[in-house]
Structure 1
Amino acid sequence: MRYNPYMPSLAAVAAMVAAIPAIAAQPDKQILKAATDARSAQIALLKDIVNIDSGSGDAQGSARVMARLVPELKAIGATIETIPAEAPGLGDNVVARLTGKGRGRILIIGHIDTVFPAGTVAERPFRMDEKRAYGPGVSDEKGGVVQALTALKLLHDLKETNYASITFLIETSEETGSPGTRKLIDRLVHEADVELNVEPGDAPDAITVWRKGSATIKLTVHGRAAHAGVAPQDGRNAAAELIHQIGTLDRFPKSGDGLTANLTTLRAGNRVNVIPDLATADINVRVRTADQFAGILAAFEASARQTMIPDTKVDVSTTPSFPPLPNNPATDRLAAQAKAIYADLGLTLGMAGNGGASESALAAAAGTPALDGLGPVGGGFHSVDEYLDLPSLTPRLYLFTKLLIQLGAAPPTK
């Protein structure tokens, strides 16, 4: 080709192309209409299950919630398996399965247990204002469970079956580290191509691409009882020694994106006139990497060997909960896919992380790509101020439904 001085260079062509306004992606109108039309029923179901106390360990409350959800799942053709908890005193878990004609094997995990005791609903039942819904567990995680169920209804109504299987695990002990489902989760994540978790999205509108791991360090101090007035010198005050041991916490951050350690429970004595011979404390530890926990545990163990009050003994024990969900390429790819779907609506999906542990860490540790924080946006978790952001309901339902369709047709490579 002969040189033409009027022909723009390749660089100039590239610049002109970049300057052309991008044609905005359009949402799938059928899915969007279905998600919009489902709003009233979605809120009604959420109200019903929020108004049932179902704190971790409340087996009867969990059964009542399941009794409301299971008929909805059966109505769309799901097979239901009720699986007893793997630890005593916990509610039964439910595994709902849909079988399709496509490739992807999708696992959805949600939990219906809350951190609130029986009687909370009577004090502050479900309510709404123009922008938010409130109530115990409304976001963490009953809003997500209802969203997942509603998305499965949309697939059914739209006659979408281009997936090999969708398995929906509804569990009852996530808030205490899922002691009632560990073996079940391990089996299900190995059977799946991808795991989607309906924990709430972070405000203003983000999904979760990393989470801290969690564990509890328990300090138990053994002392000697004595009459607090007649012969206090004969006692060995377990509570006083425990206060000394808790001072180790001063060496570690209480908040932030890295390791944190916080005192959560404290117990000592049962009589006002007796020197306490037993005292306990729980230290909640959150870590970004698994090796961080060893360092903080070693610090408490070293302190336990150096008691302030003679003849007291300090035991240090641990209860693991969830490993960390680290930043990883598999999650990043799923997050990019979700972000692109959200952009169809003209919305920007943020990427965030937090100190709340979840089952997605177990999926990722097993080598199954996992994406978390896919439920409606919320905040105030584990407090009287817990809320669900109502404007996020339809966009998040659209996102979740379309993500199921895409992953069913083309699952990620494990």
Structure 2
Amino acid sequence: MIRPPLPPHANPDAALLTCCEEAEERVLELTERLVNMDSGTDDLPGLERKAHVLADIFRSLGANSVELREAPEPRRGTYNVVAVFKGTGRARVLMLTHYDTVFPAGEAARRPFRREGDMAYGPGVADMQSSIALLIAAVEILHNKLGQRNYDTLTIHCNADEETGSYGSRALIRELGRSHHVSYNMEQSGREGELITISGRGIAKGTLAVTGIASHAGGGPEKGRNAGYELAHQLLQLRDLSRPEIRTGVHWTMGSFGHKLNVIPDHAEAFADIRVTRVDEFDRIRATIEERIKNRLIPDCRVEFDMDISVLPFQNDPVTLSLAEKVVAFTERELGRRLGFRHANGGNDTSHCAQVCPSLDGFGLGCLDNHSPNEALPLATIVPRLYILLRTWQETFAGRMLNLGEQDSPR
């Protein structure tokens, strides 16, 4: 495979780089195997098959324990795969992955894994089947090629419902996070593998409900109180809640009122997509809305607001930033390339884990056209991102990413 040469000022660990280059085909072999197995979030039989395949792979790698933990409701019938490797050092590192995709059953047969030029294609190839393959190859190199086990615990968690919010795995993710010094997530690293993710927005659903009084539109409209009119009034006075300067977004995206043509509607509702980078923004938005809805167009209508927070923000606090800066520093020094910082628009499993332990995201491979039939993996990202993951582990195990003594207790 043709790879761009390293810049003249690069100073890599030559032995490690060679291991990564030799593992490139192994990553692609594993990726092909995983891509060609359906595992859409709603495809329970496909998810169970892949869970067992992953468990068998981790057992073959010598994991001290491998568990398939059934998810609670509403995801009962799906499984979190948890593989634990024990070593001789101090660091306890948690790796986060997900093996579900957004594609339906049968998609793997319709669009199997294929390589064309410098890209690979297939359902879930970049999000994140190839990144699971990368992680497996990294464990093989660490143990079999480098002979390194200078960690206390290396835990790999693979969940089956990240694409729909991790409702069947978020509690387990937090539980695992509390017993580890740090978590690293294998989510994608940009179009060319050039990014490390230092923050992700929290997500909430806002519901605005209006109750009016129904009446006959032809025989007594004046007896009614039109919930649709009141909803329109409320939406107009709630349209400016976003704060782009701090990446807060509040967008009313769905709504409805009325169910019969000849009836003044007595109920109306609208829903908002709410995304924030700071937890206190949820409080500001709620307080602002609750104050503004007191101003009503139709006094006899009742207006209520509710907010359901599904994901807390993954914030780029000083610990996160320090972790990221260290990855950027050794990558620039050794590979001659400078990683940029990515601020994710949505949340993922890092958002759950970051509430209980230091976390960093974006250790996976490059990704183009995520979640589409054209989703692609840039092959040139395999070797450098494999190198970056292994060097991150080495620096973490040596206590140079964070002070292991200070992180013996959860945040």
Same fold, judged at TM 0.5 (above)? yes
- CA drift of 1:348 comes to 2.0
Looking at structure 2, the residues matched to 309 and 272 of structure 1 have their Cα atoms a distance apart, in angstroms, of: 21
- Choose which of 93, 96, 109 in structure 2 pairs with 1:109: 96
SS of 2:189's equivalent? Answer: strand
Which aligned pairs between 1:57-96 and structure 2 lie closer than 5 A? 57-78=42-63, 79-90=65-76, 91-96=78-83
Unmatched runs of 5 consecutive residues or more in structure 1: 1-22
Decide whether the 8 Å contact of 1:257 with 1:355 is kept in 2.
no
Decide whether the 8 Å contact of 2:90 with 2:151 is kept in 1.
yes
Would you say 1:214 and 2:200 are equivalent positions? no
- Which residue type is aligned with residue 15 of structure 2? Q
Task: Tell me what 1:283 maps to.
Answer: 272
Change (3 A) 1:259 1:164: same
Would you say 1:374 and 2:360 are equivalent positions? no
Task: Tell me what 1:37 maps to.
Answer: 22
- Choose which of 333, 338, 354 in structure 2 pairs with 1:364: 354
Decide whether the 8 Å contact of 2:206 with 2:308 is kept in 1.
yes
SS of 1:107's equivalent? Answer: strand
Decide whether the 8 Å contact of 1:248 with 1:300 is kept in 2.
no
- Choose which of 148, 157, 165 in structure 2 pairs with 1:160: 148
- Choose which of 246, 249, 259 in structure 2 pairs with 1:260: 249
Which aligned pairs between 1:317-328 and structure 2 lie closer than 5 A? 317-328=306-317
Task: Tell me what 1:15 maps to.
Answer: none
Decide whether the 8 Å contact of 2:30 with 2:130 is kept in 1.
no
Would you say 1:133 and 2:120 are equivalent positions? yes
Question: What are the superposed Cα offsets for residues 34-73 of structure 1, whole Å, 9 maximum, x if unpaired?
Answer: 2222222322332333344434444333223213322211
Looking at structure 1, the residues matched to 216 and 110 of structure 2 have their Cα atoms a distance apart, in angstroms, of: 41
Decide whether the 8 Å contact of 2:74 with 2:167 is kept in 1.
no
Change (3 A) 1:40 1:267: farther
Looking at structure 2, the residues matched to 301 and 122 of structure 1 have their Cα atoms a distance apart, in angstroms, of: 50
Change (3 A) 1:405 1:296: same
Task: Tell me what 2:5 maps to.
Answer: none
Question: What are the superposed Cα offsets for residues 196-238 of structure 1, whole Å, 9 maximum, x if unpaired?
Answer: 1111112441101222222221334456778889988887666
SS of 2:285's equivalent? Answer: helix
Change (3 A) 1:147 1:350: same
Decide whether the 8 Å contact of 1:249 with 1:261 is kept in 2.
no
- Choose which of 3, 11, 14 in structure 2 pairs with 1:26: 11
- CA drift of 1:396 comes to 0.4
Change (3 A) 1:168 1:226: farther
Decide whether the 8 Å contact of 2:239 with 2:251 is kept in 1.
no
Would you say 1:201 and 2:201 are equivalent positions? no
- Which residue type is aligned with residue 80 of structure 1? V
Change (3 A) 1:322 1:26: same
Question: What are the superposed Cα offsets for residues 377-400 of structure 1, whole Å, 9 maximum, x if unpaired?
Answer: 224334555433321121101111
Q: How many residues align?
A: 392
Segment drifting more, 24-33 vs 63-72: 24-33
SS of 1:360's equivalent? Answer: helix
- Choose which of 155, 165, 170 in structure 2 pairs with 1:177: 165
Task: Tell me what 1:14 maps to.
Answer: none
Looking at structure 1, the residues matched to 360 and 68 of structure 2 have their Cα atoms a distance apart, in angstroms, of: 25
Which aligned pairs between 1:324-335 and structure 2 lie closer than 5 A? 324-335=313-324
Looking at structure 2, the residues matched to 199 and 170 of structure 1 have their Cα atoms a distance apart, in angstroms, of: 12
Looking at structure 2, the residues matched to 49 and 303 of structure 1 have their Cα atoms a distance apart, in angstroms, of: 51
Identity of aligned residues (%): 35
- CA drift of 1:108 comes to 0.6
Change (3 A) 1:59 1:349: same
Question: Taking structure 1 as the reference length, what is the TM-score of the superposition?
Answer: 0.81
Decide whether the 8 Å contact of 1:248 with 1:299 is kept in 2.
no
SS of 2:365's equivalent? Answer: strand
- CA drift of 1:256 comes to 6.7
Unmatched runs of 5 consecutive residues or more in structure 2: 1-7
Task: Tell me what 2:335 maps to.
Answer: 345
Looking at structure 2, the residues matched to 115 and 273 of structure 1 have their Cα atoms a distance apart, in angstroms, of: 41
Would you say 1:409 and 2:393 are equivalent positions? no
- CA drift of 1:93 comes to 0.8
Decide whether the 8 Å contact of 1:208 with 1:352 is kept in 2.
yes
Decide whether the 8 Å contact of 2:327 with 2:392 is kept in 1.
yes
- CA drift of 1:278 comes to 5.4
- CA drift of 1:276 comes to 6.5
Decide whether the 8 Å contact of 2:55 with 2:66 is kept in 1.
yes
Looking at structure 2, the residues matched to 120 and 216 of structure 1 have their Cα atoms a distance apart, in angstroms, of: 30
